[in-house]
Chains A and B, each alone.
Chain A
Amino acid sequence: DVKVTQSSRYLVKRTGEKVFLECVQDMDHENMFWYRQDPGLGLRLIYFSYDVKMKEKGDIPEGYSVSREKKERFSLILESASTNQTSMYLCASSLGLAVQETQYFGPGTRLLVL
């Protein structure tokens, strides 16, 4: 059974703070993803990684960076949090590069930036 865990379920930060969101998967998946979910906008891809130390920009990478030092861990970094980054952040992983690969999601981190 695939498990994707996220370090925090809820997080409150102040504008300008550096924020780290951690994601760990336990199924040796190659690909990992970070999305944010906002009302009326669905899930939007921020960054993804298909291998250790590799990263690709998604659709909305501005204001974010990522780190993948180990295969099982993918971190999302908000260098200087802003109020418009208040959102639900979802991490996902998938096994390989086949088109049909299902993505498995973590429970999400709800971030509030004051």
Chain B
Amino acid sequence: DQQVKQNSPSLSVQEGRISILNCDYTNSMFDYFLWYKKYPAEGPTFLISISSIKDKNEDGRFTVFLNKSAKHLSLHIVPSQPGDSAVYFCAALSRGFQKLVFGTGTRLLVSP
């Protein structure tokens, strides 16, 4: 049972445009969400996070939006750059637990 879902396995975007990666979750106990980025042959690296008490968190070109009523979060990258091409995983955590639950990942390709 996939508690965190990324329904788009891949996304292609042109350089300079906005990339929007989506993530849905089913467990209402989740209260902290993270995005990780993974290049081939490397481990995932932390990108940005958001607590359930917020609906938006911004860090440079990266913004994460959280819609708790819809159990949906999204990562916006603007402007997209070729170096952003990677697999993006969203992950969720519930209070008191140290186990991250990861989504299946979305492969982003940003073309020049």
Range, interface on chain B: 20 to 34
Interface-lining segment among B14-22, B69-77, B97-105: B97-105
Residues of A within 8 A of B51 (CB): 100
The contact string, 1 if C-beta is below 8 Å from chain B, for chain A 96-114, is 0101111111111000000
Given A4-B43, A40-B9, A106-B43, the answer on whether A99 and B99 have CB atoms closer than 8 Å is: no
B 1-39 contacts with A by CB, 8 A: 4, 6, 9, 31-32, 34, 36
Interface-lining segment among A11-19, A42-50, A64-72, A74-82: A42-50
- Count of chain A to chain B residue pairs whose CB atoms are closer than 8 Å in the complex: 60
With the chains together, A105 CA to B9 CA distance in Å? 22
- Contact check, B32 vs A43: say whether CB atoms are below 8 A apart: no
With the chains together, A44 CA to B36 CA distance in Å? 14
8 nearest A-B residue pairs (beta carbon):
A105-B43, A43-B102, A42-B104, A42-B102, A102-B46, A105-B44, A106-B43, A107-B43
